[in-house]
Amino acid sequence: MCGIIGIVGKSNENVVDRIIRSLEKLEYRGYDSAGIAVISNGQILRQRAVGKLYNLKEKLINEPICGNTGIGHTRWATHGKPTENNAHPIISKDVAIVHNGIIENYKELKFDLQKDGYIFETATDTEVAAHFLQREIDQGFSPSEAFAKLLKIVEGTYAFVALFSMFPNTLMVARHRSPLIIGFGDNLCVGSDANSISSICNEIAYFEDGDFAEISKDYVIFFDKNFKRVERKRTAISPDLTNCGKGEYAHYMLKEIIEQPNAIRKTILHNSVNADLLDGVSRILILACGTSYHAGMVARYWFEKFLKIPTNVEIASEYKYRNPIIENRTLVIVVTQSGETIDSLEAVEYVRKNSNSKVLVIANVKNSAIARVADFLFYTEAGVEIGVASTKAFTAQLTLLAGLAFCKHEFLLQELQNVPTLCEETLLLYEHIKKIANDIKLANNAIFLGRGTLYPLALEGALKLKEISYIHAEGFAAGEMKHGPIALIDDNIPIVCICPRNELFEKTISNIQEVLARGNNVIVLTDRIGSESLPSETEKIILPNVHVEFAPIIYSIPLQLLAYHVALLRNVDVDKPRNLAKSVTVE
């Protein structure tokens, strides 16, 4: 969840500015606090600040530090509140460390370290790692030996990067179920993702799970989980990563909404599903979290209708705790944007231990952890998504799932080719949706309604609104309103209905009439033909006509824009909504 960067300078330059620029690319992973530590003349110097990265930047202007080797961190709090004292890097005399993950046995380690006289000053689990390393250094062990001993005793998930004052040109690095890569260029670097070091390095090497490494200004030595020295392949950094700024746009989220037609085109172009992949499959299981889960819910309708294969969709974070039974000939499909979500990784691990099922992965990040455990692998071609609220990755996921569902239906595959153009037409509704956002901006609650494949989209629309505007929103199957949620309706609660002209149109119109009998703030997303049958009291967003099966992709866009504009009207930072982070690497 947290963002990590480390740089070993090959020259005498100050690495602070480079660390800060890299942290700017990692802030989507957490922005409760940020910090940086460097070695200068045999001493560790540190600055930390609560809140977003600009607070740390301001502090460094007034109280600068300088060093040739350093580490940085942007935090999503797990153990300990987001205070400056709990911000990383954590220091124990000669050791500074940054950490992404959770140390599950930190209480036992803390007890032992306190008995040995080490004093704890933070509420973080990470502090046990700092003091443990310091204790080993105090006993005469080298940084490499101390680090290996830490990894043998620590339990949980981690990406660690540590520096040592007596070894000013060395970083010790380790990864277990938390992303970390090493970069090679003018400087040797380590980062949570390739994007974070793309402006510094031209090649990267990926850690295997359990790896650790010693990075010096002149070399990198890799060790595997058995502490044996190994080599790891270096690959060139993708050119896409060097051009992922906001450009002319005010926010990453807006840029990524606008990029959806191109992301969908590239996803269609670079992915072709061979129908033979489904030979012998008697059941499909989809595992996902958050927005990806909603994509999986849509796909369930498609798979059962067009492939005639029974399909279940499971929340990955809950899946293994049911001790579920996986039937023979089940195809497991994992949908994930980052490819590093710990819940999805652990769900796959459960599948591997309890079945012989093949695992098909749909991910957006190449060479991510989950990509390396897939039997079949498809990439959405959305490019880097920085905004915490997923937009283009979601519609690219739907596009790829549609390609899989319709792999035996040539007409639908041809219709899929028209979707990017329809997305471009939909984006022309920008100003109209901006005006409608005024009807929602003062609300405390909102309801989204849909039927069929548009019920999951109602859930996604509600999620988008709540996560970036902080308005409590819920999505419901429209037919379920009369079974309880209708009690919430009054004139103050906006109701967003997703209602294109399809086989469920008349039933959804009936649900809208039920809502209008109890409230007067109803917004309907429909098409030109559908708009002619809607009650005059409704506010309408009229979308292009689209084949019924592709409505979830097209109708996603106005829901994203609506959430975006409402959030702006409420003065919320849409790219960095409070308490959230992009890649959830802790349970």
Catalytic residue positions?
2, 582
| Burial per residue of 166-200, b for 16 or more beta-carbon CB atoms within 10 angstroms, e otherwise | ebbbbbbbbbbbbbbbbbbbebbbbbbbbbbbbeb
Handedness of CA 483, 305, 299, 241 (dihedral sign): negative
Q: Are strands 234-236 and 201-206 parallel, antiparallel or unpaired?
A: antiparallel
Helices (H), 355-481: 392-405, 410-416, 419-427, 430-436, 454-469
What is the C-alpha to C-alpha distance for residues 246 and 25, in angstroms, rounded to an integer?
11
d(CA 71, CA 197): 13
Contact 164, 143 (CB under 8 A): yes
Nearest to 158 by CA among 109, 227, 81, 104: 104
- CA pair distance 291, 293, nearest whole angstrom: 5
Give the other-Cβ count within 10 Å of 326's Cβ: 14
* Residues 6+ away with beta carbon under 8 Å from 392: 256, 257, 259, 260, 263, 382, 383, 385
User: Residue 35 burial (CB < 10 Å; 0-12/13-18/19+)?
Assistant: buried
DSSP 3-state of 6: strand
E-strand stretches of 77-130: 90-92, 95-103
- In the structure encoding, which two tokens stand for residue 411, read together? 């007409």
AA identity, residue 476: F
Q: And the tokens for 264? A: 């969908």
Residue that has been written with the tokens 């990075």 in this structure: 215
Q: Are 376 and 400 in contact (CB under 8 A)?
A: no
Q: Of 293, 362, 285, which is closest to residue 326 (Cα–Cα)?
A: 285
Using alpha carbons, select from 109, 156, 158, 159 the residue that is nearest to residue 134: 109
Map residue 275 onto helix, strand or coil: helix
445, 473 Cβ separation under 8 angstroms? yes
Q: Are 426 and 554 in contact (CB under 8 A)?
A: yes
**Both tokens assigned to 575:** 């790219």
CA distance 373 to 371: 6
Per the DSSP assignment, residues forming a β-bridge with 215 are 171, 220
DSSP symbols for 315-352:
EHHHHGGG-----TTEEEEEEESSS--HHHHHHHHHHH
Pairing of strands 283-288, 95-103: unpaired
